[in-house]
Structure 1
Amino acid sequence: MDNGRIVTKNNTALDNSYIVPYNPSLLLKYSCHINVEHTCQTSAIKYLFKYVHKGNDRVTASFYETNVDGESEQVVDEIRNYYDCRYISACEAAWRIFGYDIQQKEPSVIRLPFHLPNEHLVIFRDYENIVDVIDRVDGKLTKLLAWMLANRLFPYGRTLTYSQFPNKFVWKDDISMWMPRKQGFSIGRLSHVPRGNGEDYYLRLLLNIQKGCLSYVHLRTVNGVVYGTFKEACYALGLLQDDKEFIDAIIEASTWASGNYLRDLFVVLLLSNNVVRPEVV
């Protein structure tokens, strides 16, 4: 075969695809099969380093006894197994020794905590005096309260929701204050709250909708009407579904079911955690 011509042998068509790649010059010089290929993938570097420096294969085995009932008493230390069997190649080890960054996020994501009025998180050690703890946190603004204050100081911030605030403002931890951002941007993410948590869940919904709030009262204000709870404000904004389907289900069952069955049905609806206003239902 030459120049890709196809020849036949035993009624089988053969071409250059049947030849193992090789380098003629290196083959003649060292009298052995040598093939050199060029790869343009970054993963090739990682593969080569780990392949050369991987060392011997290893297997972790352990022996343990069982009690009379056949139940295992083995205690698995996952942290110890992780450190014992973890593998770091030579290039990764050198990277860590020189203290280079292991990971990088672009753009940065900022966690935005929130809390109900007078229920912000206070961290202290068990041996600290309660008076000292109160003095330390008294007057110190949280990110949520500082957002409300920044809306008073910077009118431009009133066009942003709490989750959008890191796009144009940066948090200064030393002064506990949001300041206008001079360059770049960050993405804000509110902490997840299950629906069963009550007012915390509805406060989170409002923080993703309401803009330029100066206080908790402004958060509960919809079209000039101040609602008593965050849940009612969410309902006024149309963020929650109505309970008409549940009311219709109870009315339909009342035509043939007993009172005890209706009470059980109402409990099932409450446990489903889908009823928005149980008192109305």
Structure 2
Amino acid sequence: MFIKVVHITVFAFQNTNENDEITRYQMGRYISSNEAIWRIFGFQIHERDPAVVHLSIHLENGQRVYFNEQNAIERALTTSKTTSTEFFELNKQQNIFGQYARTLLYSEVPTYFTGNKALKRLLLINVRGPTSYEYLRTVNGQLYNTYHDACRELQLLESDNHWDITLRDAVLSSFPHQIRQLFAILLTTCFPNNPKELWEKYKCSMSEDVLHRHRTTNHDLNIQFNREIYNEALIMNEDLCLLISNQPLKLLGLYSLNRTSV
């Protein structure tokens, strides 16, 4: 025996120019018995656990500034405050709050202090009590020019041991141009901690074909590796890096080149 069930839907068209969003929302909203009881007893409707606080990360004077026609002059004359800059200011305070804040890491501050919107990554989460961007770049009393140098001095960066092994294995079975290509890939995609050290260790292997060409061209087998040969090999490396990522070696942590001598 089969029973046929028919669903009937009733709707209507209404010609109106009104668009009352509040009324539409109230008519379309359904409050269940669970939500009603929850509200009657005054329980919290929204909750975040654990609490999530956005901590800004930016370079010195690199914070975003939002402005319009009315406040453009004011924004230009007033330094925009962020959680990073206010973290420094908090650590400068000589009261009990500043003293305690200087024992905390950047990521720990929201646990003990509340702030508002007025209130660099690796250093900020590893250096306690910084008071400025220069403080972040200072290690054992020495001010470093870059955050990268400061991180390296603090031994916060990953070791280049695996890149060292990669190049060492390539030297055993690859031609110089292949080793240079591998080195360029490491520079542009793997960002080794100390590329100069890797270059100094394997520059002879990456320059053997250049040395052979100089010896053949000059009919002199006594020519040895020199600055000119290394510079030419570096130029080849830079050409590869420019092709891969459009970045010169100087931006990748290596030396500035002398292209006029080639």
Task: State the TM-score bracket (shorter-chain normalisation).
Answer: 0.5 to 0.7
C-alpha distance in 2, partners of 1:159/1:147? 12
5+ residue gaps in structure 1? 1-55, 59-82, 178-202
Over 3 Å counting, the alpha-carbon distance change for 1:213 and 1:101 in structure 2 is same
Over 3 Å counting, the alpha-carbon distance change for 1:139 and 1:119 in structure 2 is closer
Q: Partner of 1:50 in structure 2?
A: none
C-alpha distance in 2, partners of 1:231/1:205? 9
1:93 CA drift (Å): 7.0
Q: Partner of 2:122 in structure 1?
A: 205
1:131 aligns with 2:73: yes
Amino acid at match of 1:90: S
The answer to whether the 8 A contact 2:63-2:80 is kept is no
**1:56-205 alignment runs, 5 A limit:** 90-91=32-33, 101-106=44-49, 108-125=51-68, 127=69, 130-135=72-77, 138-153=78-93, 154-172=98-116, 176-177=118-119, 203-205=120-122
Local SS of the residue matching 1:254: helix
Amino acid at match of 2:108: Q
Over 3 Å counting, the alpha-carbon distance change for 1:165 and 1:264 in structure 2 is same
Local SS of the residue matching 1:109: coil
Q: Partner of 1:74 in structure 2?
A: none
Local SS of the residue matching 1:159: coil
1:140 CA drift (Å): 4.1
5+ residue gaps in structure 2? 1-6, 10-24, 199-262
Local SS of the residue matching 2:91: helix
Local SS of the residue matching 1:115: coil
1:224 to 120, 131, 141: 141
1:213 CA drift (Å): 0.7
The answer to whether the 8 A contact 2:160-2:192 is kept is yes
Provide, for residues 186-211 of structure 1, a one-character-per-residue CA deviation record: whole Å limited to 9, x for no partner.
xxxxxxxxxxxxxxxxx211111101
1:272 CA drift (Å): 4.1
1:133 CA drift (Å): 3.3
Over 3 Å counting, the alpha-carbon distance change for 1:107 and 1:265 in structure 2 is closer
1:247 to 128, 150, 164: 164
Instruction: Count residues in correspondence.
Output: 170
Identity over aligned residues, as a percent? 30
Q: Partner of 2:16 in structure 1?
A: none
C-alpha distance in 2, partners of 1:269/1:89? 58
C-alpha distance in 1, partners of 2:74/2:34? 45
1:87 CA drift (Å): 9.4
RMSD: 3.6
TM-score, normalised on structure 2? Answer: 0.53
C-alpha distance in 2, partners of 1:271/1:96? 56
- Choose 1 or 2 for highest CA Rg: 1
C-alpha distance in 2, partners of 1:253/1:275? 17
Amino acid at match of 1:91: S
C-alpha distance in 1, partners of 2:195/2:177? 18
Over 3 Å counting, the alpha-carbon distance change for 1:128 and 1:273 in structure 2 is farther
Amino acid at match of 2:76: I
1:132 CA drift (Å): 4.0
C-alpha distance in 1, partners of 2:48/2:177? 57
Local SS of the residue matching 1:269: helix
Over 3 Å counting, the alpha-carbon distance change for 1:140 and 1:96 in structure 2 is farther
TM-score, normalised on structure 1? Answer: 0.50
